[in-house]
Amino acid sequence: MAQHSEPMPGGATDPMERSGGTVARRPGMFTFAAVIMFVVAGFEALSAILAFAGTGWWATASGDLVYANFVFWGILDLLIALIALYAGIDLLRGGAFGVVMGYLFAGLGAIRWLFVIPVAPILSVVVIALCVMVIYGLARHSDYVQSA
């Protein structure tokens, strides 16, 4: 069955048709993985802000004064947030760095949440399922990275 193209409004034709190129559509699961990376970046940035805000002097139950320094953890969380943000942007572009970081974040996230099952079983199962969906989407559509 032959397809024909109709002219666009104003007599213009599709620019991709004129150039002879094809557009590789980004799979929905790839977009989902990128959005999850943005969510990870947001949560890590929030964790960094909380770590910076939590640094200071604390009084224990026995009345002792303790200084807690969470600046290191805040900086670490901020770096993770920046990596996740860049990985999400790279996934939207179809880059290999985003795929590798997507696998890494989703794999480590699933393993981490296995340990949380006794405390929060429903939340853990949901987060593990999201991690598995990211891994599935990246693995299923790995040909998109090669074409992009």
> CA 56 to CA 52: how far, in whole Å?
9
> What is the enclosing helix (H) or strand (E) of 68?
strand 65-68
Local structure of 77: helix, strand or coil: helix
Q: Is 87 exposed, middle or buried (0-12, 13-18, 19+ CB in 10 A)?
A: buried
Local structure of 67: helix, strand or coil: strand
36-92 pLDDT per residue, tens: 889 989 888 998 898 888 877 778 888 888 777 888 888 998 998 999 999 999 988
